[in-house]
Structure formats: C-alpha cells, structure tokens
C-alpha cells in the first residue's frame, strides 16, 4: 500500500502531487532544490508542511535532486510533456536504476500500477507550472482519485 509521496517540490506537477497526498493524509517528503527555491521563489512550505529536505547548495543540485527522488522511491509517475529536459533526466534515471515509471495515467491506471508494482514510496514528477499550466491540477486530481481507489472507498479522505 502507498505509504509516502515524494517530489522535488517545483511548481506544477510536483506540488500538485504533494498537496493531493497531504490532503489525503499520506506522508509526504522528498529532496528539494537548494534554499527550497521554485520558479516562484523560495517556498518554505515544502519543508514546513510537506517534509522535504534541502539538497546541497551547488546549483548543479537540481539534476541531483531529480536523481535522488528517483532513487528514494519505488517508482515514479510523470505528469505532462515528456519532451522536456527534466522528463528525459527523470525517465532515463528510472531506466538506469531499474525503477518503474508511468506517464500521464488516469486514476484507475495509477492505482492499479501502484498495486501491481508494490509502490510504497511514489515519486511524483512532471512539468513545472510555467511550462504546463495544467500539470498541477492533473497531478492533484489523478493522485487524489487514485488514493481514494486504493482505500477501497472510491473517494479521497480529506483532512479538512
């Protein structure tokens, strides 16, 4: 059963996945860029609310952060365009490390994939908001719905 959702914390799919897990009372975490910076600036909620840890101070940490989140997960789900440099790095890293990945699934496909691959720690990745304005929403709705299916209730257990 899914125990934790991690991501790098960027705007878009990363944050949508973190919010969906948090709202459904699933543990969150992951490795964020230095200073918890996103394209919208510093976001300490990544640390304070979602439990991400900060990657090293080197600007080259962004790719290392991506690799670390793939390493620290059982599998990765990608939301958005797979032609971006971030997508190529993420999906190539999954292949090199023998980690399973899934791109742009619907909720039932994601839930079945999590079960079939015994995913306990899920890495949620995808396009940043400035490159795909729907990636945040797509990640949130898909993951929240999949968690509801995994609970056998067909709905999400929201905290609020």
Higher confidence at residue 130 or residue 107? Answer: 107
Does a structural domain hold residue 138? yes
Does a structural domain hold residue 160? no
Does a structural domain hold residue 157? no
**Does residue 110 contact residue 142 with C-beta atoms inside 8 Å?**
yes
- Please give the mean pLDDT across all residues of the chain: 92
Q: What is the CATH number of the domain that holds 80?
A: 3.40.50.450
What integer is the mean pLDDT of 147-159? 65
Does a structural domain hold residue 155? no
Q: Categorize the per-residue pLDDT at 159 as very low, low, confident or very high, splitting at 50, 70 and 90.
A: very low
Does a structural domain hold residue 159? no
Q: Categorize the per-residue pLDDT at 56 as very low, low, confident or very high, splitting at 50, 70 and 90.
A: confident
Q: Categorize the per-residue pLDDT at 160 as very low, low, confident or very high, splitting at 50, 70 and 90.
A: very low
List the one residue out of 95, 64, 96, 90 whose CA is nearest residue 78.
90
Please give the residue range of the domain that contains residue 88: 4-150
CA atoms of 21 and 5, how far apart (whole Å):
6
pLDDT of residue 133: 86
Total count of domains within the chain? 1
Calculate helix-pair angle for 85-97, 61-71, nearest 10 degrees: 40
What integer is the mean pLDDT of 23-28? 97
Helix (H) or strand (E) holding 87: helix 85-97
């Amino acid at each position: 059963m899914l125990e934790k959702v991690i991501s790098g914390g960027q705007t878009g799919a990363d944050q949508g996945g973190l919010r969906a897990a948090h709202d459904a009372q699933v543990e969150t975490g992951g490795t964020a860029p230095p200073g918890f910076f996103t394209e919208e600036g510093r976001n300490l909620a990544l640390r304070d609310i979602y439990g991400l840890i900060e990657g090293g101070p080197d600007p080259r940490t962004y790719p290392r952060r991506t690799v670390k989140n793939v390493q620290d997960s059982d599998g990765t789900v990608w939301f958005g365009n797979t032609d971006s440099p971030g997508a190529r790095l993420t999906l190539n890293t999954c292949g090199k490390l023998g980690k399973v990945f899934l791109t742009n699934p619907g909720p039932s496909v994601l839930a079945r994939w999590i079960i079939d691959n015994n995913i306990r720690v899920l890495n949620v990745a995808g396009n940043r908001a400035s490159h795909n304005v729907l990636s945040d929403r797509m990640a949130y709705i898909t993951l929240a719905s999949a968690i509801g299916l995994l609970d056998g209730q067909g709905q999400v257990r929201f905290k609020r």
